[in-house]
Chain A
Amino acid sequence: MELEDFIEKFAEQFDDTEASEIKPETVFRELDEWSSLIALSVIAMVDEEYEITIKGEDITNAKTVEDLFHAVESKA
């Protein structure tokens, strides 16, 4: 699993947020477009792309995109 690849797939879940706005240190919850629906999309994306099941609390506990990446990676 590569951080860069994860960020790209994470960014694909957004419609109005430019991919360039999403960096490892981005506090994703502060993005205007962030919503519970996008959180659900991220969970589904992780399942589909990496065959890893994460929960809502993994998202809650992560602050930055990189935090979330590490949470996913730890379950691989």
Chain B
Amino acid sequence: MEGYNPFSLSGKTVLITGGAGGIGCATALICIHLGARVVLTDIREEALHDTLASLPPSHTGEPHLCFTADLTAAEQLAALVDFCPVLDGLVCNAGVMKLTLTQFITEAELTRIQKINLNSPILLTRSLLKKKKIKKGGSIVFTASAAGVYRVSIGNGIYATTKCGIDAFMRTVALELGPKGIRCNSVNPGMVETALIGSFTEEEKQREMQNYPLRRFAKPEDIAYGIAYLLSDASSFVTGTALKIDGGMTLG
């Protein structure tokens, strides 16, 4: 059984959005170690090129690709879809968070966050499917959140509702595409040590950590391992599942 690895991503091509961010970058690295070739996209051009340059080559020698795009702009999203080769995996991972108490929510901020966290992943999934760029046997993974889907917290209403939307969309896509052999799941992290949680103060973070039975926040790779599992054939019979990766945070 030497070399037997049902978690292998050998020969698979995976598109990762938010590829220059904490979870995106960790996911790219793990996918490559498991044999995949990656296509990264991000709005931050320089960070994206730096990420691409830092990655090891693919096992097959096929070059990894990157494409700078603002996925909230229709023409840039369309250009990314045209740029993409046919995919075995799609990781809709790009997202933003900003804490705002309900009475201070502005329509502009609400719309901005919804466009990035909810509309763009929905429209990207639509366009890739429509252009038949996701192979039969392929896997779609959304980075949702424990927030909204499993718990809510003060000031996080906008973010939490977008992630609930992703959860419902993920299950809908799983239902529609199951007969075509395409699976769809999400990972649902709690706090992850990335730039995204920069709006929390150190004191808030320390207090929040008391809610984590494992007494730490996730490292990006903790989430990336879950994504890699959902991309791999090891999860062949898993679809429509929200995989909590939260160090036990939502137990209490």
Q: Which residues of A contact B (CB under 8 A)?
A: 15, 35, 37
Shortest beta-carbon contacts, A-B, top 5: A15-B180, A37-B176, A37-B179, A35-B179, A15-B136
Which label, helix, strand, loop or mixed, suits the secondary structure of the A interface? loop
B215 within 8 A of A: no
Which label, helix, strand, loop or mixed, suits the secondary structure of the B interface? helix
Task: Give min CB distance, B173 to chain A, whole Å.
Answer: 12
Number of B interface residues, CB 8 Å? 5
Interface hits, B158-178 → A, CB 8 Å: 176
With CB as the reference atom, state the residue of chain A lying closest to B130: A12
Across chains A and B, the number of contacting residue pairs, with CB separation under 8 Å, is 6
B219 within 8 A of A: no
User: Which of chain A's residues have a CB closer than 8 A to the CB of B132?
Assistant: 15
The answer for the CA separation of A35 and B180 in the assembled complex, in Å, is 11
The answer for the CA separation of A37 and B178 in the assembled complex, in Å, is 11
Task: Give min CB distance, A12 to chain B, whole Å.
Answer: 8
The answer for the CA separation of A15 and B136 in the assembled complex, in Å, is 9
**Residues 168-194 of chain B, each 1 if its beta carbon lies under 8 Å from chain A, else 0:** 000000001001100000000000000
Interface hits, B92-116 → A, CB 8 Å: none
User: Which of chain B's residues have a CB closer than 8 A to the CB of A35?
Assistant: 179
With CB as the reference atom, state the residue of chain A lying closest to B178: A37
The answer for the CA separation of A37 and B179 in the assembled complex, in Å, is 9
With CB as the reference atom, state the residue of chain B lying closest to A15: B180
User: Which of chain B's residues have a CB closer than 8 A to the CB of A37?
Assistant: 176, 179
Interface hits, B127-164 → A, CB 8 Å: 132, 136
A-B contact pairs, 6 of them (CB 8 A): A15-B132, A15-B136, A15-B180, A35-B179, A37-B176, A37-B179
